Amino acid sequence: MTALRLGLFGRGRLGSAIAAEAGAALIWQAGRGDRPTAPVDVAVDASAAEAVEAHLAWALDTGTDLVIGATGWTMPELESRVGGRIGVLAASNFSLTVALMARLSTVIGRFAALDPARDPYLLEHHHHLKADAPSGTAKTLAAALMAGCPRKTEWTLGTPAPHQLSVGVVRAGAEFGTHAVGLDAPAEVLELTHRARSRVPFAQGALAAARWLHGRKGVFTMDDVAADLLVPLFTFGGKP
Ligand SMILES: NC(=O)c1ccc[n+]([C@@H]2O[C@H](COP(=O)([O-])OP(=O)(O)OC[C@H]3O[C@@H](n4cnc5c(N)ncnc54)[C@H](OP(=O)(O)O)[C@@H]3O)[C@@H](O)[C@H]2O)c1
């Protein structure tokens, strides 16, 4: 099997972690204002929300598969723009453990849906330089949780109305990223927490996503990468 040729947009914290993990597979790494210097199989966008549009246009022009790790952007027309032309994978969090947490969040949401006294919530903490709030991961986990709990239809950072999921954000210090999905009931509390100790899980997940994406057409998420791995974990003694 020929090795994947990788391009990388972004020379910041995430870009540096991915470059270190990619080794010889990395053909170029482009900072702000740089242009890609050679064709690659897959490019990873580890830059910033405002640069995603230009990087997607480049990927479509050059027929290069694109893994987007930058957060804080929305593009409702992404599916129609990509069509079947290239593969695009957008991931607010490259960690496979967080992909597992997203699935568990839906289960927690379903459990909350059984009893209105079970009140779900979400907390996140990142370093003080992080640009967007709540984090893209928090939005992904909130969506997964609400997918299981139909009485919650949107999230809020303020005092929640009954249909809103309460989300709490901390921006302080050097935290790589902590997310907790919780369930507060009158007599008990469940809290599921993920804490990244470094950017290594993001870098390894980005490379796993690039390998998985190459050759596929359409728009995908980290849940698609993780599905093969995770689905067998949700059966118990042969039972679902
Ligand atoms: N998916 C995941 O698992 C994951 C994990 C961590 C972070 N993230 C996200 O990844 C992104 C990068 O995070 P980071 O911590 O690496 O940030 P960072 O350290 O600030 O690095 C951002 C990089 O993007 C470049 N950049 C900024 N604006 C640009 C523009 N308009 N055009 C081209 N390049 C631009 C910066 O160049 P300059 O230095 O010239 O400004 C820098 O090289 C953020 O959106 C963050 O939320 C995702």
Q: How far is CA 56 from CA 8, 96, 145, 210, 213, in A?
A: 13, 24, 29, 15, 15
pLDDT at 234: 79
DSSP assignment, residue 160?
P
Q: What is the CATH number of the domain that holds 225?
A: 3.40.50.720
CATH code at 107?
Answer: 3.30.360.10
CA distance 206 to 68: 9
In ligand 1, which atom is closest to the CA atom of 132?
47
In-domain check, residue 44 = yes
Residue 73 in any domain: the answer is: yes
Count CB atoms within 10 A of the CB of residue 135.
24
CA angle 47, 50, 52 (to 5 degrees): 60
Same domain? 189 vs 217: no
Q: Which of 18, 71, 95, 221 to mutate to test the pocket of ligand 1 (most atoms within 8 A of CB)?
A: 71
pLDDT of 227 reads 87
In a domain, 239, yes or no: no
Cα separation, 157 vs 155, whole angstroms:
7
Residues in the chain: 240
Domain extent at residue 47: 6-94+199-233
* pLDDT for res 2: 67
Bridge partners of residue 171, in order along the sequence:
126
> How confident is the model over 7-26, as pLDDT tens digits?
999 999 999 999 999 999 99
Asked whether the beta carbons of 89 and 224 are under 8 A apart, the reply is: yes
Residues 90 and 108 in one domain: no
Ligand 1 center–CA 216 separation, angstroms: 25
Strands (E), 127-213: 154-156, 164-171, 178-185, 188-195
User: In ligand 1, which atom is closest to the CA atom of 48?
Assistant: 45
Please give the distance of CA 135 from its chain centroid, rounded to a whole number: 9
Quote the pLDDT of residue 11: 98
Residue with tokens 């939005």: 139
Same domain, 141 and 220: no
For residues 177 and 158, membership in a common domain is answered with: yes
90/167 same-domain check: no
User: Which tens digits make up the pLDDT trace of 86-108?
Assistant: 999 999 999 999 999 999 999 99
E-strand stretches of the chain: 6-9, 26-30, 42-45, 65-68, 87-90, 119-126, 154-156, 164-171, 178-185, 188-195, 218-220
Relative to beta strand 178-185, strand 188-195 is antiparallel
Q: What pLDDT was estimated at residue 44? A: 98
Q: Are residues 21 and 102 in the same domain?
A: no
**Shortest CA distance to 210 belongs to which of 10, 11, 42?**
42
C-alpha of residue 187 to centroid of ligand 1, in Å: 42
Can you list the residues of the chain whose pLDDT is less than 50?
Answer: none
Catalytic residues: 126, 130
**How far apart are the CA of 117 and the centre of ligand 1, in A?**
40
162 in the same domain as 145:
yes
Q: Is residue 78 part of a domain?
A: yes
Buried b (16+ CB within 10 A) or exposed e, 12-44: eebbbbbbebbeebbbbbbeeeeebeeebbbbb
